[in-house]
Amino acid sequence: MDPYVFPDSLEMQPFKDLFKERNFIEHIRQYNAQFNFTSIGTNEVRHSGSGPKTYCIQGQLTHNIGPLQPSLNRSGNLRQPSFAQIYMHTSEEQRHNRRNMFPAFSSRYTATIQRVMDLHNPLARTYATAKERLRRAEADGTSGGNLQIVLKAVGGAQARTHNLPTVAQLAVIMEGDGSEPTEGRHVVLQSLSSNRFTTIRETNPLHDALQFPLLFPMGGSGWEYTMTKTDGKSLSLRAFFNYWLQERDGDDFSDMLHRSSMLFKMYTTVGFVRVETNRLRYISQNGDKLRFDLYASVKEAAEIRSGLHNVGIKSIVPSSFTGGKRYMKKCYFNAMAIVR
C-alpha cells in the first residue's frame, strides 16, 4: 500500500506541529470530537487509580451519522448542530459551535485544524457544497428537502492503493427522497430534519476518515473488500491494521499516529472491535462453507419447551475464533493434555 501522504502546503506544517505540543496531546480526543463526522455509541469503562491512561469499552460498539440538518426542538426551532451537521455552516459559525463544545480549550488549535479540513478534506468540502445547494434552494423558494449526500464505498482502481481521493470518488450530492437504489455499502444522508441516524458498518471504507479526522485530515478511503496483496491474495482487515500500526522512519502519518496518545489507543481499540465484528459476521454468513453446525431453534425450543416467540437460527462460533467459548475450551484441553 502507498503511504498516507500529506500535501506540501503552508497550512499542513502548523497542523503537524500540533502533535508535538503537550497541551494538545493531553486533550486530543476532545479536539477530535470537535471535528468528527460520526458519533460513537458504546459503554466506556473508566478505571480509577494512578496507572497509565487506558481506553476500555464494554458491550456493542456502533458509529452513527445523522441527517444533514438537526431536528426541531419542542419550540419548533432547530437544535444545536453536532458532529457532521456543523460542517453545514460557514467557517465562522463552525468555529463558534466548536468553541461552545469545549469553551476552555485553545481556539488556536481549533482554527488550525479547521483550516486544514476546509482546504484538504473532501468530506468537509462535500458538506460545504451541500450547504450552498440548500441555501440556493431556499433562495429560489424551494425547501431543498430532497437533497441528499451519498458517501460512496470506493472500490475498483482505488482499492489497491491508499491514494488521496477526490471529492467525486468519496461522495456525491444528488436529488432524491432516499428511495433510490444504491449499493449496500453506500451511506445515504438526507437533508430533511429528523431523528433518524445511519449506522456506519465496520466494513465501510470511510469508517476511519469519519471518526478520526485528526488522524486522517485528508479524508481517504480505508480498507476495502477488494483490496489485495502484491501476490494477488485478498488483504484482510486485520492485515490492513497491522500495516498501518507499524512505525516507519520519515513517515508523517506514522509519527502523528504514535504521538496521538489517547486517540491512538482509541483508534487501536476500535480497530480491534472492527476486526472481531467482521470475523463474526463472516462466520455467521458462511457457516455452510466452513462446515459448522447450524441448528434450527425450532427444534431446540421444543426440547426446552420454550415459546415460539424465541424461535430463530443459531450460528455456532468455531474453536478457531480467538477468545470464543470453544476456543477457550480447546486451549484448556490442550493444556491438560500437555501436563498429564
Residues 281 and 304 in one domain: no
Whether residue 5 lies inside any domain: the answer is no
3-state class of 150 per DSSP?
Answer: strand
Whether residue 263 lies inside any domain: the answer is yes
SS in 3 state form for 48-100? CCCCCCCCEEEEEEEEEECCCCCCECCCCCECCCCHHHHHHCCHHHHHHHHHH
Residues 109 and 247 in one domain: yes
Whether residue 6 lies inside any domain: the answer is no
Whether residue 3 lies inside any domain: the answer is no
* Residue 167, CA distances (Å) to 121, 159, 210 in order: 8, 16, 14
Model pTM above 0.95: no
Residues 90 and 219 in one domain: yes
Rounded to whole angstroms, the Cα distance separating 41 from 64 reads 7
Residues 28 and 110 in one domain: yes
Q: Looking at the chain, how many residues does it have?
A: 340
Please report the pLDDT score of residue 17 as a whole number. 94
Residues 215 and 299 in one domain: no
The half-sphere exposure of 39 on its side-chain side, counting CA atoms within 13 A, is 14
Rounded to whole angstroms, the Cα distance separating 185 from 202 reads 10
Residues 277 and 302 in one domain: no
Could you give the number of structural domains in the chain? 2
Please report the pLDDT score of residue 298 as a whole number. 47
Rounded to whole angstroms, the Cα distance separating 59 from 34 reads 25
Residues 330 and 184 in one domain: no
User: Which of 285, 306, 326 is where one domain is finished?
Assistant: 285
Residues 181 and 304 in one domain: no
Residues 203 and 325 in one domain: no
Per-residue pLDDT of the chain (340 residues; tens, 9 = 90+): 677 778 888 889 999 999 999 999 999 999 999 999 988 888 888 877 778 888 888 878 888 887 777 777 777 777 788 888 898 888 888 999 998 888 888 899 999 999 999 999 988 888 888 788 777 776 776 655 566 667 665 554 444 444 445 444 555 544 444 444 444 445 555 555 456 677 888 888 888 988 999 999 988 778 888 888 889 898 999 999 998 899 888 888 899 999 999 999 999 999 999 998 888 888 877 766 665 544 444 455 555 555 555 555 666 777 888 888 888 999 999 999 999 8
Whether residue 182 lies inside any domain: the answer is yes
User: Which of 256, 285, 314 is where one domain is finished?
Assistant: 285
Residues 231 and 277 in one domain: yes
Residues 275 and 305 in one domain: no
Instruction: Give residue 331's domain range.
Output: 294-339
